[in-house]
Structure 1
Amino acid sequence: MTVPIPETPRVFIGYEPRERVAVNVLADSFQACSSLPLLIGQVRLDQLGGIYDREHHPKQSTDFSFSRFLVPWLAGYQRWALFIDADMLCLADIAELWALRDERFAVQLVKHQHDCEAGRKFQGMPQTPYGRKNWSSVMLFNCARCRALSPAYVNTATGLELHQFHWLADAEIGELPPEWNVLVGVQPLPPSPKIVHYTLGGPWFDDCLDMPASDRWLAARAAMNHPLESALAVHHEA
């Protein structure tokens, strides 16, 4: 009997040098919760030379503000892929999210109603209000239907054209349950969040240690480091 080959979930995490520890804790949290093998990569500007040449915009707060939209291209416009911001923590099995893929849509996401005022957030980074804010922070891409996101388009489209999904018809944007992108400090934490999003700054920054749900992230970092600490203790005893 031939066993069908399952589609391995592909996860792309936005990389920001100041949030390197957050990227690694997030990746480990996916693996720790997953019942499926995962392929996890990072969207890093230092690996996109000659492809991504967009100038840094004064309103962007991370390196991946716009490069995130290269994920369908990075995936060869084939099958499905998930993009997620670095400043998050996974608390549930990605198999649950992967099972929500719907071929009727080009992209699926949590349709937040995040109204904010212009100002500053973590590390003095700009906080910019706009329609559909945070929709693009977790995106489940049906890559074959996202060919409009070519490197040329991502390099030249305005920020609003990208983040407000002008490259799609509204009917092509599917909705994910809100627990897959819970905005910490913006909305109440539900009883069982699946992905928490430290959009105002997480406890890897000294000025955000008192952010709600910081204990969850700190516990995840400790759990990630525990095997290393055990191995070092054995090494020193030997």
Structure 2
Amino acid sequence: MPTVVHQPIPIFIGYDPRERAATNVLIDSLYQHSSVPLAITPLVAPQLVNQGLFHRERDPKQSTAFSFTRFLVPYLMGYRGWALFMDCDMLCRSDIKALWDQRDDCYGAMCVQHEYVPGETMKFLGEAQSNYPKKNWSSLMLLNCSRCTNLTVDYVNTATGLQLHRFHWLEGDHDIGAIKGGWNHLVDVQRLPDQEEPTPMLHWTLGGPWFRKQRTMGGRLAAEWFSARDDAMKLWD
């Protein structure tokens, strides 16, 4: 029998106006592959500013408009239930329910625990590449919102970038669970698995084909992104 889903999966996407195309293609890829209803909310910084929820100065090391807004998700959820956050520079290739089903109440947050030390100093559009422990862990997070009450509006606006991205708002590393199954594959950073084991979520962390100067980023994966874009924009007679 099919799984009964009582509420749509709440998904929050980091939004940067320079990556509108990436956001739109990601949203379409999520819908196209999902077997259950989804409730998708892009985190648009000016909207959060207008609500009085976000007012911190832009950090020189901040490469996207959503570097810090992602940590408002538990507040936006009323610190209830689970929510999923993901960067906009991703492409979903499989049913997001398989990721959602990994939720484990033993943890306050879950993520793909990369061991990634950047070798480059710059990434897309000349943005600086920062290096810190748990790099990219916060780019895709399952958040157990009732366990994330330290992420108050004040804390999100005043904590350092490292405090936020290194999960200092949890009790400790034992409170961070691991998402399994290749759900945050770093394009042009990690080696792709064999075709027989397709990666369910691609992440162009260094910049993707929606940027004019990076149209071939990821090789055949760039072509796949353009194919997904074209499919989303298909005209019907």
> Which bracket does the TM-score occupy, shorter chain normalised?
over 0.9
Q: What value does the CA root-mean-square deviation take over the aligned residues?
A: 1.4
Q: 2:74 aligns with which of 72, 75, 78?
A: 72
List runs of 5+ in structure 1 lacking aligned partners: none
Which residue of structure 2 lines up, in the alignment, with residue 185 of structure 1? 188
State the SS of the aligned residue for 2:75.
helix
Identity within the alignment, %: 49
- Answer whether contact 2:7 2:37 (CA < 8 A) is retained: no
Deviation of 1:117 (Å): 3.7
Instruction: For residue 189 of structure 1, report the CA deviation from its aligned partner.
Output: 1.3
- TM-score with structure 2 length normalisation? 0.93
Residue 190 of structure 1 deviates from its aligned partner by 1.9
**Given that residues 13 and 43 in structure 1 are in contact (C-alpha distance below 8 angstroms), is that contact kept between their aligned partners in structure 2?**
yes
Quote the residue 2:42 is aligned against. 42
Q: Which segments of 5 or more consecutive residues in structure 2 lack a partner in the other structure?
A: none
Q: Residue by residue, what CA displacement relative to the aligned partner does 1:53-84 show, whole Å, maximum 9, x if unpaired?
A: 01001111100001110011111111110000
Q: Which structure has the highest helix share of the two?
A: 1
Residue in 1 that maps onto 2:214: 208
Equivalence for 2:8? 8
Matches within 5 A, 1:159-178: 159-168=161-170, 169-178=172-181
Partner of 1:81, secondary structure, is strand
Deviation, 1:8, is 2.1
TM-score (ref. length: structure 1): 0.92
Rg larger for: 1
Tell me if the contact between 2:25 and 2:228 (Cα under 8 Å) persists in the aligned partners: yes
- State how far apart, in whole Å, the 2-side matches of 1:5 and 1:181 are: 24
Runs of 4+ aligned structure 1 residues displaced above 3 Å come to: none
Cα separation, 1, equivalents of 2:150 and 2:212: 40
Between 1:91-100 and 1:111-120, the stretch displaced more is 111-120
Tell me: CA distance 1:118–1:130, structure 2 relative to 1, closer, same or farther (3 Å): farther
For the 8 Å contact 2:5–2:36, the answer to whether it is kept is no
Show the counterpart of 2:100: 98
Find the counterpart in structure 1 of residue 129 from structure 2.
127
Letter in 2 for 1:26: L
Once residues 100 and 67 of structure 2 are traced to their aligned partners in structure 1, the CA distance between those partners, rounded to angstroms, is 24
How far the C-alpha of 1:209 sits from its partner, in A, is 1.2
